[in-house]
Amino acid sequence: MNAADVFARFHKPLQRPLSMATCYDATFASIMDEAGIDVLLVGDSLANTMLGFARTADIGMPEMLHHTKAVRRGAPESCIVADFPFGADTTPELAASNAVLLAQAGADAVKLEGCLPQQVRSIREKGIQVVGHLGLLPQTATSLKQTGRTPEEQARILSEAKAMEEAGCCAIVLEHIPSALGAQATDLLSIPTVGIGAGNGCAGQVLVMHDLLGLGPRQPPFAKRYVNLREQALAALRSYHADVSSRLFPTT
Ligand code: KIV
């Protein structure tokens, strides 16, 4: 699938905003596909959500490849974007060779954090689509606070977004910035923006699966929890434990 064609459908004028959610395994990939989620992101948030690490920088290419393959197996027809883990895109050459590995694992596009136009060009030369990620950058951030509040930060984020577009990105994720800046970036660019805590002026929205399904113990202020699966799973597992302990299950 050509990820650029998928993203291009959601550029101005908006028919409807694009929906993206992080996804890490085959089971949830098939559910997301059935739910009609436009793009599945194998985010490096995998480190925290699924693998129990403290920082996204604690995982590398082996984990990202393993989970990208699983998501592809679960959703053969979906548009899948895979994150570069920390350190996998430090030079244009390294970024290009790792992008090839992620594409071979099943990604339709790769996503990298920060303003790295040379890396984008080098990945595009391999024929692979690239999604940028600006604003709050979890791989290197020292705090998870909103960014882009000062005029200097705003000007920097807008010029980085333009540079990433010119280098060949097909979309840009904007994380935890003021809504007005998200809308400004969306107006400035001719590729779609996908916001996570960047307001409803973006061309699309992305949420971490654990936040939207209520699987994690806590969630960022901008996330919306649509269900509390953690509570539901806990109740089901307690019932199972009680049934087994009291010989109510199995019945024969
Ligand atoms: O890894 C991730 O979950 C992400 C989202 C925050 C967009 O990059």
Whole-number Å distance between alpha carbons of 116 and 91: 9
Q: Determine whether domain 3-245 maps to CATH 3.90.440.10.
A: no
Binding site membership of 205 for ligand 1 (Cβ less than 6 Å)? no
Cα distances (angstroms) measured from residue 58 to each of 54, 67, 100, 132: 7, 15, 22, 21
Q: How confident is the model at residue 40 (pLDDT cuts 50, 70, 90)?
A: very high
Q: Where are the domains of the chain?
A: 3-245
198 lines ligand 1 (CB under 6 A): no
Number of Cα atoms under 13 Å in the Cβ half of residue 38: 20
Give me ligand 1 centre to Cα 238, in Å. 32
β-pairing verdict for 129-135 and 109-113: parallel
The pLDDT of residue 231 is above 80: yes
pLDDT of 23 above 80: yes
> Does the pLDDT value for residue 14 go beyond 80?
no
Tokens of residue 46, six digits: 């995998």
**Do 197 and 146 meet the contact criterion of CB atoms below 8 Å apart?**
yes
Position 13 confidence tier, pLDDT thresholds 50, 70, 90: low
- Return the ligand 1 atom nearest residue 20 CA: 7
Has this prediction a pTM greater than 0.85? yes
Catalytic residue status for 175? yes
| Mean pLDDT of all residues belonging to the chain | 96
What is the percent of the chain where pLDDT is above 90? Answer: 93
Can you read off the two tokens belonging to residue 204?
Answer: 């699309």
Q: Number of helices (H) and strands (E), helices first, in the chain?
A: 10, 8
Cβ(113) – ligand 1 distance below 6 Å: no
The DSSP letter of residue 58 is G
pLDDT at 144: 87
The pLDDT score that the predictor gives to residue 216 is 87
Is a pLDDT exceeding 90 seen at residue 218? no
Q: Is the CB of 18 under 6 A from ligand 1?
A: no
Determine what percent of the chain is predicted with pLDDT higher than 70. Answer: 99
Is the pLDDT at 140 greater than 80? The verdict is yes
Average pLDDT over residues 172-179: 98
> How much is the average pLDDT of 95-114?
98
Place of tokens 């939207």: 212
Q: Is the pLDDT at 15 greater than 90, yes or no?
A: no
In this structure, are residues 25 and 51 in contact, taking their beta carbons and an 8 Å threshold? no
Least confident of 10-14, 97-101, 187-191, 232-236: 10-14
pLDDT at 12: 72
